[in-house]
Structure 1
Amino acid sequence: MNTDTAGYRLEGDGADIRSLPKVSLHDHLDGGLRPQTVIELADEIGFEVPAADAASLADWFAERSDSGELVEYLKTFDVTTAVMQTRAGLERVARESVLDLAADGVVYGELRWAPEQHQVRGLGLDEVVEAVQAGIDAGIDEAASQGRGIRIGQLVTAMRHADRALEIAELAVRHRDRGVVGFDIAGAEAGFLPSRHRTAFDYLASQFFPVTVHAGEADGLESIRSALLDGRALRLGHGVRIAEDVTVEREDDENTYVTLGLLSQWVRDRGIALETSPSSNLQTGAIAAWGDDLVDHPFDLLYQLGFNVTVNTDNRLQSGTSLSRELALLADAFGYDLDDLETFQLNAAEAAFLPVEEREELAELIEDGFDAA
């Protein structure tokens, strides 16, 4: 893989990954701030940040996020959420996030965030959702003026360690025709199974409202099982630890046998999308059972076995990344070509929380863009 000012280019055909149409399903709004924006918003509210300039602050986020543990990784969000407590701050972060995604070639994205974490300065739940949507709309309009078309949906998220899931689920449904396309639970995964929020998931199911659940990142198969059974999840946030239910046996250099457990076979056979985030999965230790390098990530195993894998950033700030970079890293690690990258985008388009007609239009847009590459 080579890099240049035009972006990341694939070995062989030299396709510029940044110019390809892409779909981002797992991108945290409070994990995608520009470092300079953090500094400026912090100055406006009198909040002290860990570094005085953008480059140093970016380094701080990268260092703190590379802990190998999700709980430590999540502590960096104390800084980002602190500067997202006003209407103006939320609008700015949302607008810039859309612009940054569009500049990276994303044509459809879902931004997830937890409204309950943005009420410190007195904003109501509906007010924070409206502020984020105003920023998203402004970003879409600005991107269009720059010749970049992009669509964005909100994924309203409840914190799994708190007791507000039903309230947040009702909030999401109230805004389903005003930008919110789905629901999620996030936060420290181990010890907080989705079953804790069964009432909220029952309500969402009664409203036919789409759900994705963080599962299989910092906890294993029981978390995934609960996401599917209790949460009725249509997608799994990360989901990489579903590979714990896959047995690989090598008898010799030429013969390898793979056996799927009931859970992994269900996820594969039903096409339940895995929202993998390679760099983040390394930082949080989600793939520690397989190794500590990207080539050890079970992504390729799952892909070769026919799982519905998608590629995402999780948190662009903490991982110092972009969707193009994540795709380039995977291509470098596993020798993927343009057809593979197109498959990942079509997988994501099919799993997007959009009506089927709009998903088909999105798939056509992706196919046309890759054909022209």
Structure 2
Amino acid sequence: MTEPTNLPESSSLDVRSLPKVSLHDHLDGGLRPATIIELAAAVGHTLPSTDPAALGEWFRDSADSGSLPRYLETFDHTLAVMQTRDGLVRVAREFVEDLAADGVVYAEVRWAPEQHLQAGLSLDEAVEAVQAGIEEGVVNAEAAGRFIQVGQLLTAMRHADRSMEIAELAVRHRDSGAVGFDIAGPEDGFLPARFKDAFTYLAEHQFPVTVHAGEAAGIESIVDALVNGRALRLGHGVRIAEDIDVEFEEPAADDEAEVGIVSMGRVANWVRDRGIPLEVCPSSNLQTGAVASFGEDIETHPIDLLYQTGFAVTVNTDNRLMSSVTLTGEFELLMETFDYDLDDVLELTMNAVNAAFLPLDERAALSAYVTEGFNRARG
């Protein structure tokens, strides 16, 4: 990290006002508690609480419980209220409004259409409903004086057998909101090779792919995502750090800092040297145990190691409801923990700009917009 020049102190920096880019944010993990309560009442679904504050606390406690069944139960409640067109439109609209209020100017929202068919919607109708909500959210954000652009990442569940169907769905909607494809769900035991035909189909149609890898499984999963998944980005990808060794040398004098010698394995070198973006979600990684081998708190999270050694790290939220986070809050956490400054936040944001599933000219325009916003923050 370089020394800041003429920058505001971190404590006085308004991170929320900075233009930010969100690449890894799940639709069913970003609902407002009050909305869940209203929609649940309409469909007759029973919740742990009907008080918004208490329900929000229940989601946070469940995500932090260390119990995988309890963590997964949280999604049972959000998915239950996202089975109708009206429910999907409202959730998508509010999702966009909340991102815009947090200073996000470009976002890719990922969700699995196959999980939203219980009330009779078709896959195409579900995608159209979410797109309608996104567009309403963009209009509402503009009315509030905020700019935001949002695309859909259509996701296939790894433990199901609908990957080709979802791949075809994504390509079918590429000119009406869909910008990329993803696979999610249980990573360990469900390598991307299982869906090789779907990934080949997407490559044949030049449709971008990001793959959840390097979260619940390690290097083998990352390699398979790159080889068979043809991933252009790694969803989380944080366990690439398991292919990095750091040895510390004793300082020659008491006043000298400890020096770390970094050596990388072949996979880590490949990912770094080719600038394959990592969609890192700091708080979520701690909750799910993705970085447990490094430690149990943010100070031991390998995100700083990855950033300082030149990986294309991007900062994301994963599930804003369950983790009780915002993108602003995640950046502030990193600034407090690792002493990042405005230049660091800009570099991490530009990594996300460059990784966005946008045409080159639109990425250039987004880059200019983000740079202008950061320049204003410099005063």
Q: Under TM normalisation by the shorter chain, which class is it?
A: over 0.9
Closer/same/farther in 2, CA of residues 11 and 230 from structure 1, 3 Å limit:
same
Measured against aligned partners, the alpha-carbon deviations of 1:300-320 in whole angstroms (never above 9, x if no partner) come to 000000000000000000011
Give the distance between the partners of 1:256 and 1:321, measured in 2 at CA: 32
Could you tell me how far 1:256 is from its partner in structure 2? Answer: 1.9
The one of 49, 58, 71 aligned to 1:60 = 58
Aligned amino acid, residue 151 of structure 1: Q
Is residue 294 of structure 2 the alignment partner of residue 290 of structure 1? yes
The one of 16, 29, 49 aligned to 1:31 = 29
Closer/same/farther in 2, CA of residues 206 and 72 from structure 1, 3 Å limit:
farther
Aligned amino acid, residue 53 of structure 2: A
| Match in the other structure for 2:317 | 313
| Match in the other structure for 1:6 | none
Could you tell me how far 1:75 is from its partner in structure 2? Answer: 3.0
Whether the 8 Å contact between 1:70 and 1:218 is mirrored in structure 2 is no
Give the distance between the partners of 1:334 and 1:10, measured in 2 at CA: 17
Where 2:197 maps in the other structure, the secondary structure is helix
Closer/same/farther in 2, CA of residues 12 and 151 from structure 1, 3 Å limit:
closer
| Match in the other structure for 2:229 | 231
| Match in the other structure for 1:270 | 274
Could you tell me how far 1:37 is from its partner in structure 2? Answer: 0.3
Closer/same/farther in 2, CA of residues 244 and 72 from structure 1, 3 Å limit:
farther
The one of 325, 331, 354 aligned to 2:358 = 354
Could you tell me how far 1:251 is from its partner in structure 2? Answer: 2.6
Where 1:247 maps in the other structure, the secondary structure is strand
Q: Report matched runs for 1:1-373 at 5 Å.
A: 11-12=9-10, 14-68=12-66, 72-253=70-251, 254-373=258-377
Give the distance between the partners of 1:118 and 1:280, measured in 2 at CA: 24
- Long gaps (5+) in structure 1: 1-8
With the length of structure 1 as denominator, give the TM-score of the two structures: 0.96
Where 2:96 maps in the other structure, the secondary structure is helix
Measured against aligned partners, the alpha-carbon deviations of 1:76-120 in whole angstroms (never above 9, x if no partner) come to 111100100000000000000000000000000000000000000
Give the distance between the partners of 1:201 and 1:115, measured in 2 at CA: 18
Give the distance between the partners of 1:125 and 1:182, measured in 2 at CA: 16
Give the distance between the partners of 2:219 and 2:67, measured in 1 at CA: 18
Could you tell me how far 1:69 is from its partner in structure 2? Answer: 6.2
Give the distance between the partners of 1:195 and 1:263, measured in 2 at CA: 18
Question: Percent identity, aligned pairs only?
Answer: 64
Aligned amino acid, residue 150 of structure 2: I
Where 1:26 maps in the other structure, the secondary structure is strand
Where 2:83 maps in the other structure, the secondary structure is coil
Closer/same/farther in 2, CA of residues 69 and 200 from structure 1, 3 Å limit:
farther
Q: How many residues align?
A: 365
Give the distance between the partners of 1:46 and 1:138, measured in 2 at CA: 26
Measured against aligned partners, the alpha-carbon deviations of 1:312-365 in whole angstroms (never above 9, x if no partner) come to 000000011100000000101100000000011100000000001111111111
Give the distance between the partners of 1:81 and 1:209, measured in 2 at CA: 27
With the length of structure 2 as denominator, give the TM-score of the two structures: 0.94
Whether the 8 Å contact between 1:69 and 1:285 is mirrored in structure 2 is no
Whether the 8 Å contact between 1:39 and 1:52 is mirrored in structure 2 is yes
Could you tell me how far 1:51 is from its partner in structure 2? Answer: 0.8
Could you tell me how far 1:255 is from its partner in structure 2? Answer: 3.2
Whether the 8 Å contact between 2:10 and 2:335 is mirrored in structure 1 is no
Whether the 8 Å contact between 1:67 and 1:284 is mirrored in structure 2 is no
- Long gaps (5+) in structure 2: 1-6, 252-257
Whether the 8 Å contact between 1:10 and 1:17 is mirrored in structure 2 is no
Aligned amino acid, residue 269 of structure 1: D
Give the distance between the partners of 1:20 and 1:70, measured in 2 at CA: 35
Could you tell me how far 1:287 is from its partner in structure 2? Answer: 0.7
| Match in the other structure for 1:4 | none
Could you tell me how far 1:70 is from its partner in structure 2? Answer: 5.8
Closer/same/farther in 2, CA of residues 69 and 277 from structure 1, 3 Å limit:
farther
| Match in the other structure for 1:3 | none
Where 2:340 maps in the other structure, the secondary structure is coil
Give the distance between the partners of 1:131 and 1:55, measured in 2 at CA: 28
Give the distance between the partners of 2:149 and 2:318, measured in 1 at CA: 18
Give the distance between the partners of 1:142 and 1:31, measured in 2 at CA: 21
Give the distance between the partners of 2:330 and 2:74, measured in 1 at CA: 21
Closer/same/farther in 2, CA of residues 359 and 68 from structure 1, 3 Å limit:
farther
Q: CA RMSD in A?
A: 1.3
Could you tell me how far 1:67 is from its partner in structure 2? Answer: 3.5
Aligned amino acid, residue 214 of structure 1: H
Moved more, 62-71 or 46-55: 62-71
Give the distance between the partners of 2:284 and 2:73, measured in 1 at CA: 14
Give the distance between the partners of 2:14 and 2:74, measured in 1 at CA: 32
